[in-house]
Structure 1
């Protein structure tokens, strides 16, 4: 004898299953939003937070599921995940207001050479084609120094503060204009990356302190402390003093609280200012299934106007170069 389940009982089971499915879909995004909005980037969560823009886009799926199944509270919670994540991510794709300045335009390029493995000819070609005025380089080796000059970089950008070293720790700053007050900052965390700096004197503008930034990478849990320490040690902006620019591989995105704390001292992220803040700069681009994230930045004093930001692939490097067109206050 076959006994069929009552339609009401079957409906209740299906309803419970649908509700459970909704909560299971909503829960990961809820936890992610709590970590991101609460600034709880610690341990392995640091690496994960770099992918927040993808999570923000994906949070629409649980919301759509809850709406389709007509589950009230999962819908409410899903919306409470999607809205704040969108609020912190979406503005990066929208241009912001710029200060009204009348000084010269300066084109600044930053590039990580991957321990000198990047194609130097491609980098010099970028400098030449885009008439770059200032170049900040990370992972700058003695071999790269020789090859770049052989390709003519010394004629394009004759002023420089160079600190080539084998491997990943070297740093360099090149400019079309004179550079004074030069030096090298030695980060203490991780591999101990160097940061070349100097004061660039563009005609018609006040001097600008430019530094090739390269804090430690949080590639493992035991490196997170070094990463936080290096970011905390970056030179803050001086809103009532000289102009400053930090450009380079920060190993952090705008979803990491230490980078946001640095911005709060008086910098703006150039790409974010012009609606290009979601352009990925680190892939890697060697076939790995890791979507691009934005860890290379040009941070400029809030008194500097940002006209445009673009990213450019350099063969041989796992980073993309970032080119920012800036307008300085008049001197």
Structure 2
């Protein structure tokens, strides 16, 4: 009997084999882009624009990489399934540790310093909200990027200098300026000139603790052809935290994430990423404006000297800016330690 009435005849063995082959090919085609992306992330093959930008979205790609693994497993394609599993594991090793609090070896009994970094978007961010966050959070050190003369005047009018009276400020038009505001006295004030932006810095005299070197970081963004060179150069120019030198804190808009090798190299200069250490390293900080359709990525960071203990990291929406602020409590080593 060929088949029951009304039902199609069974496919011939040759047709079945062709269908299985095509399904296997389709699965390989689905797995391949994820495998290439994972290899680029693991090996640090950032290339040039736009691949530098694309790597920032690795956490989203890592989540979607579960789809080809599930399809390969359901269709019982062994080698595509094994390859997809390796890809998923590679992504997991790169991404998941950011959501797990790390072991912090810093001194738990040292003086606490509360720090915050804000990108003001050409000085347009809400100054009243920034000052309110500084007061309510007991912020001791504030780093500002995209700091214009308008932003400086707005922060002064909102009363920032009443709470953080010591400052090193370098306003510039557009996105080039930066500043550091402090509750404590400052010394050795200056700035670092990068390709396009300046980075204000100073030594902060913290009561009961060592002097802290703080810098408002803002390397150029990889936003077009040829921008990769300035992006790499600006990240490479970030200062190191030397075990024998001052306790160092870099905070700002780094225009990069932990999925960028160039940024990871900065972290290995003696720092820990505060959000990564606190288990909040997957919290996006950009963009937070009317681009609701754009997946958020983590461009803003607080890098703390490895001698510093990190706790209570928060990512905070700032009205008028396309970046969120990053707040952290840092426990310094005791003076003379």
Uncovered stretches (5+) of structure 1, i.e. residues with no partner? none
Other-structure match for 2:80 = 74
Q: 2:45 aligns with which of 33, 40, 44?
A: 40
Partner Cα separation in structure 1 for residue 12 and residue 292 of structure 2:
50
Q: 1:223 aligns with which of 211, 227, 236?
A: 227
Are the aligned partners of 2:123 and 2:152 in contact in 1 as well (CA < 8 Å)? Answer: no
Other-structure match for 1:315 = 319
Partner Cα separation in structure 2 for residue 156 and residue 304 of structure 1:
24
Partner Cα separation in structure 1 for residue 129 and residue 15 of structure 2:
65
Partner Cα separation in structure 2 for residue 236 and residue 266 of structure 1:
6
Other-structure match for 1:143 = 150
* Structure 1 residue 287: Cα displacement: 2.7
Are the aligned partners of 1:284 and 1:290 in contact in 2 as well (CA < 8 Å)? Answer: no
Number of residue pairs the alignment of both structures matches: 326
Uncovered stretches (5+) of structure 2, i.e. residues with no partner? 1-7
Could you say what secondary structure the match of 2:226 adopts?
Answer: helix
Other-structure match for 1:246 = 250
Give the number of the structure whose alpha-carbon radius of gyration is greater. Answer: 2
Please state if 1:291 is matched with 2:295: yes
Partner Cα separation in structure 1 for residue 287 and residue 66 of structure 2:
24
Please state if 1:199 is matched with 2:199: no
Q: Deviations over 1:204-256 (max 9, x none)?
A: 10001000000000001210001000000111121222111100000000011
Q: CA RMSD in A?
A: 1.3
Partner Cα separation in structure 2 for residue 284 and residue 62 of structure 1:
31
Q: 2:61 aligns with which of 33, 41, 55?
A: 55
Other-structure match for 2:95 = 89
Q: 1:155 aligns with which of 162, 167, 170?
A: 162
* Structure 1 residue 10: Cα displacement: 2.9
* Greater CA drift, 74-83 or 13-22: 13-22
Are the aligned partners of 2:288 and 2:317 in contact in 1 as well (CA < 8 Å)? Answer: no
Q: For 1:94-105, list aligned pairs within 5 A.
A: 94-101=100-107, 102-105=109-112
Q: Deviations over 1:149-171 (max 9, x none)?
A: 11110111001101111211010
Partner Cα separation in structure 2 for residue 281 and residue 237 of structure 1:
24
Partner Cα separation in structure 1 for residue 11 and residue 122 of structure 2:
69
Partner Cα separation in structure 2 for residue 16 and residue 6 of structure 1:
15
* Structure 1 residue 284: Cα displacement: 4.4
**Runs ≥4 residues deviating over 2 A:** 3-7
* Structure 1 residue 7: Cα displacement: 3.2
Q: 1:28 aligns with which of 24, 29, 33?
A: 33
Q: For 1:98-113, list aligned pairs within 5 A.
A: 98-101=104-107, 102-113=109-120
What TM-score comes out, normalization by structure 2 length?
0.94
Partner Cα separation in structure 2 for residue 284 and residue 225 of structure 1:
27
Are the aligned partners of 2:106 and 2:331 in contact in 1 as well (CA < 8 Å)? Answer: no
Partner Cα separation in structure 2 for residue 4 and residue 277 of structure 1:
57
Q: For 1:171-210, list aligned pairs within 5 A.
A: 171-188=178-195, 192-210=196-214
Partner Cα separation in structure 2 for residue 221 and residue 4 of structure 1:
58
Q: Deviations over 1:21-42 (max 9, x none)?
A: 2111101100101111111101
Q: 1:260 aligns with which of 258, 264, 270?
A: 264
Partner Cα separation in structure 1 for residue 149 and residue 22 of structure 2:
63
Could you say what secondary structure the match of 2:256 adopts?
Answer: coil
